Amino acid sequence: MAAASGPIHLRRCLVSPTGAHSASLIFLHGSGDSGLGIRTWIKQVLNQDLTFQHIKIIYPTAPGRYVVIYLIAQPYTPMNGNISNVWFDRFKISNDCPEHIESIDVMCKALSDLIDEEVRSGIKKNRILIGGFSMGGCMAMHLAYRNHQDIAGVFALSSFLNKASAVYQAVKESHGELPELFQCHGTADELVLHSWGEETNSELRSLGVSTKFHSLPNVYHELNKAELERLRSWILTKLPG
């Protein structure tokens, strides 16, 4: 991925709180999707928008072919190098290969700018949650555990970290309290194996991260209503009104 010539402005889809804004949630989509796309998907699964009285939800869109005017084009190796809306590149969809750390770090910077915007608007770091689906969940773990260990929590749906992830090293070197991790994963997921998600959770827990892991029987690589309802409840425990 080519280096950005300046700050990267991420397009985003917003869901405003129904009352006074006192907390923020950044929800990252999976590969090939968009902020609007995952918001629409959630709305279809729940039959309504995911909304909170006090929490603003931010759905950013990763760099891709539709936003190259503002961003950098992002080739994706698993798609034979074609341009796609992805948070970072992967050498392959597997947990036993090196991470494409350069592209991950570029997006950590862009998403950190988004967090900084919320802080400048008056939201404290410990009132911000970061998470996502699939690649978005992986990106959220990198962003939180390597760059923003003082946020309220992290969630990762159908996601995993590579075996030698830089996240594990950052957690090992941490001396303070780390954000709690909430994970859900379908047992029938054939793209991101359930065992990869389980291994990620076990490794982080062994390094001192407080974790929750929910297995979803017979669920594939998809969002699920029960999963989103569990997530909603967890969000309210981490960001009470």
- Which residues belong to the active site? 134, 189, 221
Report the 10 Å Cβ neighbour count for 92. 9
Q: Could you tell me if residue 2 is left (phi over 0), alpha (psi between -120 and 50 degrees) or otherwise beta?
A: beta
206 burial class (0-12, 13-18, 19+ CB within 10 angstroms)?
Answer: exposed
- Taking CA 193 as the corner, what is the angle to CA 210 and CA 209, rounded to the nearest 5 degrees? 10
Structure tokens at 235: 């969000």
Q: What is the DSSP string of 15-72?
A: E--SS---EEEEEE--TT--HHHHHHHHHHHHTS----SSEEEEEE--S-GGGTTTS-
Distance in angstroms (rounded) separating the CA atoms of residues 101 and 197: 20
